[in-house]
């Protein structure tokens, strides 16, 4: 009897000392059960059924300091939360009586063909999630035929990333507007020489990064970002003389700025609030695209528009496409998926493709190119954002 009690007590102690309890951060409940997981160890990839599951898995593996560095956003994270929640106020229209036996996700971005209308957005320092860092993001993107846009603040050099590209793989590259002009010129040259096909120029954190409290707890005061604070319209026009590659301004948040980029002759813009990491209170991409539709609709006819922020599901991609985006970026999710290395990133891409295909089939649309505003009802968002 005593030994049975002792055995029971010992088993309970064992169970409680290893069972992992993770704060799910209010993410949608997917029924994910973490009780068999071991803290600090990568859970089985087979347990993953959504991009949110992968975030929780990453939280279990990446050290608290670096998980915070990826997950963090600015100030009270109002924009970060809005990015995740905006989808609740959007409705998708599904049409019956259509042939949806053959779904086609393919699209082109700046004239280059890709298998899917979503891409891996620039996210700095991928190496804290996996030693392969950006290399597995590049190879997974290449194998899946999707676009990858490495960050200029990557763990691996831009040449190392270019070297793992598959034959014919097209990548763009992100650049910041450094106050150190020599650095800027040199990097633009290196990006071009390494074979990247376009520059994604981040214009939403000129001068300074947002104040990211969750991360500051580990790092102390915000370090000097090294970004130019004097970057104005004249500099934006002038920067095109420094490279022969097409430039896509990233971080457009108003119809006014979208129109300016159109007037200056840029081939594309990238609507983004930087995953909520820069201006807290900035609108979501859904709201920004609606603003452009109302106040500068010619933008969609005369240039390509990309968008990101809070995209975790296939129907989020479809919502942004329906509002006029040609391609949709993912920032945090690929980093989190990379805790398994390339195989995790590939699994993430497959999950999103499956969700996209399924949603399109259920909406009655077989071609990504045909997705338009007839598929989306945003009246609720508009009534809140515009007041009518
Ligand atoms: C850890 C992290 C690092 C980032 N680094 C960059 C960067 O170097 N350059 C840039 O333009 N955007 C950067 N971003 C913003 C992303 O490109 C993208 O706009 C944002 O993450 C999209 O939101 P999501 O994370 O909800 O998908 C970063 C985002 C994260 C989460």
What pLDDT does 226 receive?
87
pLDDT digit string, tens, across residues 294-349? 999 999 999 999 999 999 999 999 999 999 999 999 999 999 999 999 999 999 99
Q: How confident is the model at residue 17 (pLDDT cuts 50, 70, 90)?
A: low
How many Å lie between the centroid of ligand 1 and the Cα of residue 158?
17
What pLDDT does 31 receive?
95
What pLDDT does 206 receive?
79
What pLDDT does 101 receive?
97
**Residue 11 in this model has a pLDDT that exceeds 90:** no
Considering the domain delimited by 87-386, tell me its CATH architecture: Alpha-Beta Barrel (3.20)
Does residue 307 or residue 228 have the better pLDDT? 307
Map out the domains of the chain as residue ranges. 87-386
pLDDT above 90 covers a percentage of the chain that reads 88
Q: What angle do CA 32, 34, 36 make, to 5 degrees?
A: 130
Residues with CB under 6 A from ligand 1: 70, 83, 121-124, 151, 153, 174, 202, 250, 272, 274-275, 277, 308-311, 329-332
Rounded to an integer, the average pLDDT of 381-387 is 96
What pLDDT does 221 receive?
80
Rounded to an integer, the average pLDDT of 155-184 is 96
For residue 274, the ligand 1 atom closest to its alpha carbon is: 19
DSSP 8-state code for residue 207: S
Rounded to an integer, the average pLDDT of 136-151 is 98
What pLDDT does 195 receive?
98
What pLDDT does 223 receive?
66
* 173 in catalytic set: no
- C-alpha pair distances (Å), 107 with each of 181, 269, 304, 371: 36, 17, 12, 12
What pLDDT does 4 receive?
62
Atom 29, ligand 1: residue with shortest CA distance: 123
pLDDT above 70 covers a percentage of the chain that reads 95
């Amino acid at each position: 009897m005593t030994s049975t009690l002792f055995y029971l007590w010992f088993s309970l102690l064992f169970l409680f000392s290893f069972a992992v309890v993770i704060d799910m951060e209010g993410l949608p409940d997917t029924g994910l059960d973490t009780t068999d997981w071991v803290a600090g160890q990568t859970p089985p990839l087979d347990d993953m059924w959504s991009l949110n599951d992968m975030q929780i898995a990453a939280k279990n593996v990446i050290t608290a300091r670096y998980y915070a560095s990826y997950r963090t956003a600015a100030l009270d994270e109002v924009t970060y939360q809005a990015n995740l929640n905006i989808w609740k106020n959007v409705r998708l229209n599904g049409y019956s009586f259509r042939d949806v036996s053959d779904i086609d996700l393919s699209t082109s971005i700046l004239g280059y063909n890709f298998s899917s209308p979503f891409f891996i957005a620039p996210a700095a320092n991928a190496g804290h999630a996996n030693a392969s860092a950006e290399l597995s993001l590049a190879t997974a993107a290449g194998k899946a035929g999707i676009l990858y846009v490495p960050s200029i603040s990557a763990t691996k050099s831009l040449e190392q990333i270019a070297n793992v590209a598959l034959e014919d793989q097209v990548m763009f590259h992100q650049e910041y507007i450094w106050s150190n002009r020599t650095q800027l010129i040199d990097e633009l040259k290196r990006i071009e020489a390494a074979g990247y096909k376009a520059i994604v120029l981040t214009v939403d954190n000129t001068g300074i990064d947002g104040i990211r409290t969750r991360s500051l707890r580990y790092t102390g005061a915000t370090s000097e970002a090294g970004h130019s604070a004097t970057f104005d319209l004249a500099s934006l026009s002038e920067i095109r003389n420094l490279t022969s590659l097409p430039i896509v301004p990233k971080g457009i948040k108003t119809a006014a700025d979208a129109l300016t980029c159109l007037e200056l002759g840029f081939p594309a813009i990238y609507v983004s609030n930087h995953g909520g990491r820069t201006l807290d209170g900035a609108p979501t991409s859904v709201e920004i695209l609606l603003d452009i539709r109302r106040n500068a609709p010619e933008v969609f006819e005369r240039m390509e528009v990309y968008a990101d922020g809070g995209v975790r599901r296939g129907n989020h991609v479809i919502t942004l496409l329906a509002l006029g985006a040609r391609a949709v970026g993912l920032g945090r999710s690929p980093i989190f998926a990379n805790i398994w290395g390339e195989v995790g990133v590939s699994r993430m891409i497959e999950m999103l493709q499956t969700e996209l295909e399924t949603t399109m089939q259920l909406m009655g649309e077989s071609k990504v190119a045909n997705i338009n505003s007839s598929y989306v009802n945003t009246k609720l968002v508009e009534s809140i954002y515009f007041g009518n």
